[in-house]
Amino acid sequence: MQTLLLVGVGRMGLPYLAAGRRLGARVVAVETAAKAGAIADLVDHLTISRGDSDELWAEAAWAAVAAQRPDGVIAFSEPQVTAAALVQDELGLPGPSLRAGVLSRNKALQRGRFAAAGIAQPEHLVTDGLAAAREWALDRLPVVVKPLSLAGSMGVELVAGAAAFDEAAARRAGEGRLLVERAVEGPEYSWEALVHEGRVWFANLTAKETTGPPHFIEVAHRTAPDVPEATRRRVDGFGGEVLRALGMRSGLVHLEFRLTAEGPVLIEVAVRTPGDHLMDLLGLTYGHDWFELVARVALGRDLPDPPTGPIRYAAGYLPLAPAGTVTAVRGLEQVREHKAVVEAGVLVERGSVVQAARSSNQRVGQVLLAAGDRAELAAALAEVRRTLVVETA
């Protein structure tokens, strides 16, 4: 019997457990003490990580390997990527590659690697303090400031003028090393690819909707959007260039970019499970369980034939609410009864305190939808937006 090691599970990684079981594997996991209780009875062995840093995830992953050598390893989210890549490299198991794992965890390393590879990306500067980057930034306004290793828009901020830059520099003094980039105009997309031994098994294009500046929090995703075939081929070619620069071998790739008049411009890339229920949306769109596909790749199993195209169209809606105390949640039951809604939930209730939205952590719910065509999906998404309302005061 094969053993599948999950480095991090969380809530959205639970389908990996079910996928491993369906494949007849013994499933073991590494998780923090705070989250271990939710999965303790679902896995064959559980190793506790003493914290959420890259170093402590690696420590726990090595301890899990010492207890039993796995046949496959899956990293769930950003902090677990390095740990999984180290174990995969040490044991010679399928994985993105140690190079890809290291680059995934550091946006500044990505910029340096992709610049050498000639991949289109924003003009950028790495700085130990925003104040030191003032002259460079003011010559290129507006600029985007971001941390090197966080996800979910955490710490991302567009700065449009000199006064705003000085305020940000004072507010973020002592924050540590930051990446400053010339802002890029164009709609946002992501490219999700399952890669097997260096070759793309299948790739999907997702259209993003964000709050825009200053924090660009993602509030909606639509899989398989309507774009010209020439654009899709260009994006696939761009994705292939990024994979080669990463040294990508096997696993998931989640690439975010803006589509400019000159073509795709890279924002960032990660070699782990994408957030915002994108794996569920991929399953709805193409009829394959993407958690099981990733587990198959990790365990060295055969893959089915790739899909020939969408069997339906899917979207995810991730609402925000104004800062304040929640006074009412309206429309949830009506939304759940909509024929296009697959799943709907809210994360707050009356009396909850909602903070001003600065990252994905401040979103207050999620709705997953699927429909037979894009027009039907757009109409359903618009109705959900009108119906589901979180009121605050």
Q: For 42-82, how does the pLDDT look when each residue is reduced to its tens digit (9 = 90+)? A: 999 999 999 999 999 999 999 999 999 999 999 999 999 99
Q: What is the pLDDT of residue 153?
A: 61
Q: What is the pLDDT of residue 357?
A: 87
- How far is 306 from 130, CA to CA, in rounded Å? 46
- Annotate 22-64 with DSSP letters as a single string: HTT-EEEEEEEHHHHTTTTTTSSEEEEESSSSHHHHHHHHHHH
Residue 391 contacts residue 328 (beta carbons within 8 Å): yes
DSSP H helical segments within the chain, as ranges?
Answer: 14-22, 33-36, 54-67, 81-91, 98-104, 107-116, 134-138, 162-171, 229-246, 278-286, 290-299, 332-336, 374-387
- Whether residue 214 has a cis bond before it, omega within 30° of 0: yes
Residue 344 contacts residue 389 (beta carbons within 8 Å): no
Q: Which residue has the tokens 């306004």?
A: 141
Tokens for 365, please give them.
């719910």
Model pLDDT for residues 333-363, shown as the tens digit of each residue:
999 999 999 999 999 999 999 998 888 888 9
Number of Cα atoms under 13 Å in the Cβ half of residue 53: 4
- How far is 77 from 61, CA to CA, in rounded Å? 14
- How far is 154 from 262, CA to CA, in rounded Å? 28
Q: What is the pLDDT of residue 360?
A: 83
Q: What is the pLDDT of residue 149?
A: 79
Model pLDDT for residues 104-143, shown as the tens digit of each residue:
999 999 999 999 999 999 999 999 999 999 999 999 999 9
Q: Which residue has the tokens 């991730």?
A: 318
Count CB-CB contacts under 10 A for residue 383. 17
Tokens for 255, please give them.
């690439």
pTM of the model: 0.93
Question: Strands across the sheet with 188-196, in order?
Answer: 263-270, 251-260, 188-196, 199-210, 218-223, 313-317, 365-371, 341-346
Nearest to 174 by CA among 128, 210, 216, 220: 128
The pLDDT averaged over each successive group of 10 residues in the chain (393 residues) is 95 92 97 93 96 96 97 95 98 98 96 97 95 95 89 79 94 90 96 97 97 91 96 97 98 97 96 95 97 98 96 97 96 98 96 90 95 97 97 96
Tokens for 283, please give them.
């399953």
Question: Strands across the sheet with 389-392, in order?
Answer: 353-354, 324-330, 389-392
Q: Report helix, strand or coil for 203.
A: strand
Provide the 8-state DSSP code for 271.
S
Annotate 209-238 with b (16+ C-beta within 10 A) or e (fewer).
beeeebbbbbbbbbbbbeeeeeeeeebeeb
